């Protein structure tokens, strides 16, 4: 990658000089924004997911790998457990498992961000210069795109960041100034231009505007958006990156070689889900065209079919992989969050790559998370007949990692699939874990009380269609808690595009007190649920495998580990 001398000089001058020299998506509770937590309830706090010691967090921002250190910035309220007073909190790690909290990197302080420092990305420029692009809210409630650079490059943790006075870089000229945010990681092309995307909307049409720059300082809007789609509402947190057509290796965002496809991900403000398509980037026209196999819009593919939003990827140059971060908000009420003293987690970082079919992405928890595995138990060749349940004993079921492969003799008993069943979540709500089927439902009962008054089932159900079998994967929070007031307890679900020639289905679930993060069929379909049991907590939580289908199911192999607790942001104020 090359960078113009003007860019090098301009950023270097800005660095030297400063070194010496609304349309918001969140429900706003002004009366609670600065109500600091006096106590922090531990019952439902996670053991190994990323979260600060207290207060509100949302979007992961600017993740990057720089000089051997992983950096994660994120939206954080240092004064309360609801959205407000947002700063860019900053944590560092050598393994993305153990985290050290630093002082906030960016906070409102300038006219161009005095009313908010919202989401954005990090780009590492040639010459090993990291730059953050972020959305600032000015006094007129306009959303502007700004940049920040490290104050001291010799600091291995990049603790302090400065905002040059030539901000903002991008004004909302000719666009909706209250829906114009979340700049992507920049990429460079051999025509000499840097490019970024910014999410927006025009009426009900979601838009990703493209901006170009030769020097990273003066940006010009392209004649046409890189992509847009009608009736999808505001596009937040766009992400755009190449994926390899061969293997699980990741590609640098600026990679321009052969054998690649592109992924465009958008977070739809209306639905609060992340959707992506796979397609081609026509650089000469600066447009992105989804493949014919990628549904564009609300019916399209998601990274995760559960509680997962505002995700961000980055290229991990240290290990040659692309890593995905996502935010899992609470499913309880604001009053509950204030009482808890905290709200929000980040999901386990996931490696992400293109499925060999070329039609979807695969995701899997980073292998470093396995260093937390402790005591384990195994089960193999265990037959589950209709209505049979078996407990997985010998581990801490409230904080566990479980991998299991199920098999079934044949698919003759699979229920007939109705073509009108296009909404997986609605189908799961109708055919839950207790509704007897043919092949399935079978899977795991996580965070379960001893007598199953509470449980969160993660399970499969197989249907037969004219040309193929259809697999439904569910993570159903309906029975997750005896508490009813203020809890959102949905039956999350997605279809799994998997070949059942071997009559097998695999499942991995990361269970962590108030979150169940599940990966079906090797990461083809992922679902994250937030749940708040009242009985199935701590040592009173249990884990079961079950089968409520008429076809016998065999646990070919199940391995479950108790998960240890890493260092997690102690001392953050």
Active site residues: 59
**Alpha-carbon torsion 179, 180, 184, 188, what sign?**
positive
Across the beta sheet with 100-106, the strand order is 100-106, 87-93, 69-76, 55-66, 342-343
Q: How many residues does the chain have?
A: 573
Q: Which residue(s) pair with 561 in the sheet?
A: 376, 401
Q: Which residues contact 359 (CB under 8 A, 6 or more apart)?
A: 278, 291, 293, 294, 497
Rounded Cα–Cα distance for residues 199 and 184 (Å): 9
Give the residue among 402, 387, 436, 378 at the shortest CA–CA distance from 519: 402
In three-state secondary structure terms, 490 is coil
Rounded Cα–Cα distance for residues 412 and 463 (Å): 10
Q: Which residue(s) pair with 444 in the sheet?
A: 458, 545
Rounded Cα–Cα distance for residues 260 and 251 (Å): 9
**How many other β-carbons are positioned within 10 Å of the β-carbon of residue 220?**
12
Rounded Cα–Cα distance for residues 256 and 227 (Å): 19
CB of 232 closer than 8 Å to CB of 205 = yes
Rounded Cα–Cα distance for residues 251 and 144 (Å): 29
DSSP string, 268-288: ETTTTEEEEEEEEEETTTTEE
CB of 515 closer than 8 Å to CB of 530 = yes
**How many other β-carbons are positioned within 10 Å of the β-carbon of residue 445?**
25
**Alpha-carbon torsion 487, 474, 298, 173, what sign?**
positive
DSSP state of 347: P
- Strands 542-547 and 504-512 turn out to be unpaired
Rounded Cα–Cα distance for residues 536 and 483 (Å): 12
By the 10 Å C-beta count (0-12 exposed, 13-18 middle, 19+ buried), 430 is classed as exposed
Q: Which residues contact 13 (CB under 8 A, 6 or more apart)?
A: none
User: What distances in angstroms separate CA 186 from CA 133, 216, 542, one per listed residue?
Assistant: 9, 9, 46
Give the residue among 510, 439, 523, 516 at the shortest CA–CA distance from 479: 516
Helices (H), 50-151: none
Cα 356 versus chain centre, distance? 22
Rounded Cα–Cα distance for residues 59 and 116 (Å): 14
Give the residue among 336, 373, 404, 434 at the shortest CA–CA distance from 82: 336
């Amino acid at each position: 990658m090359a960078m113009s001398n003007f860019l090098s000089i301009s950023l270097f001058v800005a660095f030297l000089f400063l070194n010496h020299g609304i349309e918001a998506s969140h429900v706003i509770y002004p009366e609670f924004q600065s109500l600091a937590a006096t106590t922090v309830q531990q019952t439902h706090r996670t053991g190994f997911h990323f979260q600060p010691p207290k207060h509100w967090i949302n979007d992961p921002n600017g993740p990057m790998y720089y000089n051997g250190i992983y950096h994660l910035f994120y939206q954080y309220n240092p004064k309360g457990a609801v959205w407000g007073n947002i700063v860019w909190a900053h944590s560092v790690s050598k393994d993305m498992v153990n985290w050290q909290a630093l002082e906030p990197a960016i906070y409102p302080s300038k006219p161009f961000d005095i009313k908010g420092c919202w989401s954005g990305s990090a780009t590492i420029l040639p010459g090993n210069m990291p730059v953050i692009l972020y959305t600032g809210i000015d006094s007129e409630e306009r959303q502007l795109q700004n940049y920040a650079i490290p104050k001291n490059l010799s600091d291995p943790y990049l603790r302090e960041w400065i905002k040059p006075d030539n901000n903002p870089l991008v004004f909302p000229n000719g666009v909706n100034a209250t829906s114009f945010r979340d700049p992507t990681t920049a990429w460079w092309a051999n025509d000499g231009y840097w490019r970024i995307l910014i999410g927006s909307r025009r009426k009900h049409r979601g838009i990703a505007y493209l901006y170009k720059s030769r020097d990273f300082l003066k940006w010009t809007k392209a004649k046409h958006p890189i992509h847009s789609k009608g009736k999808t509402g505001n596009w937040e947190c766009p992400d755009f990156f190449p994926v390899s057509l061969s293997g699980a290796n990741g590609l640098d965002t600026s990679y321009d070689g052969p054998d690649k496809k592109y992924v465009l991900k958008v977070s739809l403000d209306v639905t609060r889900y992340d959707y992506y398509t796979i397609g081609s980037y026509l650089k000469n026209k600066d447009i992105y065209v989804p493949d014919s196999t990628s549904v564009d819009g609300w019916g399209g593919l998601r990274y995760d079919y559960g509680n997962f939003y505002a995700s961000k990827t980055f290229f991990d140059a240290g290990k040659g992989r692309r890593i995905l971060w996502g935010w899992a908000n609470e499913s309880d009420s604001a009053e509950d969050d204030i009482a808890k003293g905290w709200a929000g987690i980040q999901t386990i970082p996931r490696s992400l790559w293109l499925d060999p079919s070329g039609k979807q992405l695969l995701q899997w928890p980073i292998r470093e998370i396995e260093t937390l595995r402790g005591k384990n138990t195994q089960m193999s060749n265990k037959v589950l007949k209709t209505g049979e349940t078996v407990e997985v004993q010998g581990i801490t079921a409230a904080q566990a990692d479980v991998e299991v492969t199920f098999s079934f003799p044949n698919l003759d008993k699979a229920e007939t699939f109705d073509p009108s069943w296009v909404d997986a979540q609605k189908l799961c709500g109708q055919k839950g874990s207790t509704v007897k089927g043919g092949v399935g439902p079978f899977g795991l009962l996580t965070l379960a009380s001893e007598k199953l008054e509470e449980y969160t089932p993660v399970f499969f159900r197989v249907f037969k269609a004219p040309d193929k079998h259809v697999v439904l994967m569910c993570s159903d929070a309906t029975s997750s808690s005896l508490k009813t007031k203020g809890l959102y307890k949905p039956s999350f679900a997605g279809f799994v595009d998997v070949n059942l020639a071997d009559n097998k289905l695999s499942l991995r679930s990361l269970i962590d007190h108030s979150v169940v993060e599940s990966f079906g069929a090797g990461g083809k379909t992922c679902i994250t649920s937030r749940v708040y049991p009242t009985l199935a907590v701590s040592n009173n939580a249990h884990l079961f495998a079950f089968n409520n289908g008429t076809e016998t199911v065999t646990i070919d192999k199940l391995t479950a580990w108790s998960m240890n607790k890493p260092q997690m942001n102690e001392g953050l104020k």
